[in-house]
Amino acid sequence: MNPLLHEMFQTVRVLSKELNEELKKYDLFHSQWSILFCIQNNGPMAISAISKYFNVEAPTISRTVTRLEQLNLVERHEGEDKREKIVHLTEHALLQLNEISDSVVRFEEGVINRISVEEQEILRNILLKLKIEG
């Protein structure tokens, strides 16, 4: 394995683990938070749209949404096509999202402040070059 790519994958794992630790107090994981954040920013979304957004298989998204339903953070409604399910945030989620968002922002600031603004821009440009559109 290429050492640079290996280091990138390892770094992502560490950051994900650190964020999961931060989110533990809300009984959430990074993958669940990502879906909540996505719906908060884009409005109610179909499972298929969330799947496409994250480039993750629909059954994986559906399982995560099921867990979020159990936490009373989202609910599914029928779309125009009765087979399509639209995921909405619950009132309970709306009450908690500001606190969770603040916690995530503090975590992100702690991570990003480890490198200079110049390094952040260089890293962003490199990551954009590596991004593969699927």
Q: What is the pTM of this model?
A: 0.88
- pLDDT tens, position by position, for the chain (134 residues)? 889 999 999 999 999 999 999 999 999 999 999 999 999 999 999 999 999 999 999 999 999 999 999 999 999 998 888 788 899 999 999 999 999 999 999 999 999 999 999 999 999 999 998 886 54
pLDDT at 110: 95
Which class does domain 24-130 fall in?
A: mainly alpha
Distance CA(94)–CA(74), nearest Å, equals 10
For residue 69, how far is the Cα from the chain centroid? Answer: 16
Q: Cα dihedral sign for 59, 7, 3, 131?
A: positive
pLDDT at 1: 86
Distance CA(44)–CA(38), nearest Å, equals 9
